[in-house]
Copies of this chain bind each other. A is one copy, B any other.
Amino acid sequence: MESIVKNREVVLVSYFEGGPVTEHHLTIRETQMDINGCKEGEVAVQNLWIAVDPYIRWLMESPDRSIYFQNYELNQPITSDVVGKVVASAYLGLEVGDMVTGIYQVSEYSIVAGSSLKKLDTRFVKPSYYLGPLGMGGLTAWLGMVLIGNPKPGEEVFVSAAAGAVGLLAAQLAKSKGCRVVGSVGSEEKVKVLREEFGLDDAFNYKSETDWNAALSKYFPRGIDIYFDNVGGGMLEAALNHMKMNARISLCGMISQYNMKDWKESYGVKNLMNLLLKCAKMQGFLVTEYWNYRDEFMEEVRGYMKEGKIKYREDVKQGLDSFCEALNAVYSGGNIGKAIVQVRHP
């Protein structure tokens, strides 16, 4: 490989203010990179897969609109979860040919501090799975279902938004522990996929079964031991009415209620009394607070994947030019599983 390579990177050229993401916001910029130009401690990585997550659009907003994250800078490459292959190394822990993952610039090649990368074990899983079931989303699902939910064989588990990248894994983790698992999703197609491809015991479409209390009575006639909540509001209230003794509720997300300035306009949950009468626990969590569980989680989930107990689905688009399209698709809600961009055509 020549030392000087042509490099393409995805650059933010104007802040996002609503509507679809277009070339007006993200453009491709061509540069050159000397892959042998690593300084002490750095490695050069040829990037292979990029994660396309909803939070990317938040980081594209003007900094004065954001609360929780450090936004992208204008005229700089954006960052995301990336999986790539080391092509040059001035870092002791990594060699040429190693597969690595980290959060860094979205481009074809990057020069990165070696200490910020994680070397991947790709014997049993696709490298891109380190952006999904073995990445941040996977850790999120594991924390909520395994660490907080603590599922036991025979228990009854409900997962909302069960066809999403996190829900899909949370549901299968509960299946791996011997639970009966039912998910709620937004289309009949997703119901079918969860039942037939991912082995859930059942699933229902919350858009057609609009009386959620009645739906949960039907799908959980014996009640719910664990509710993995991605949605909050009315679905959480309905689930509270079906708790069994010593039930657990993992609060993973309530995205519609993120703006704390307006909390008084949020949905009021009226039946918290159920927590008391059922000696039940409701626990929130943020993946950023639990990085120390990363190795434990990765070993367990990789084991399940090796045994075929956990399947996964990726929605892969080809080439950096498809980044905008992939990001918009995440927000249209049509896809199942993890959205990623493969940097090079195979």
A: residues with CB less than 8 A from B are 232, 236, 241, 245-246, 251-254, 257-258, 260, 263-286, 289
Contacts and interface: CB of A to CB of B under 8 A. Distances in A.
Contact of A276 (B254, B276, B278, B280): B254
Candidate in A251, A257, A258, A272 with the most chain B CB atoms within 10 angstroms: A272
A269 B260 CA distance: 14
Contact of A286 (B257, B264, B265, B276): B276
A193 to B, nearest CB: 28
Nearest to A259: B273
A283 B282 CA distance: 6
Nearest to A250: B276
Contact of A269 (B269, B283, B284, B285): B269
5 contacts: A263-B270, A266-B271, A267-B270, A281-B282, A281-B283
Contacts of A236: 272
Nearest to A269: B269
A276 B252 CA distance: 7
A277 B68 CA distance: 10
A258 B273 contact: yes
A279 B270 contact: no
Nearest to A258: B273
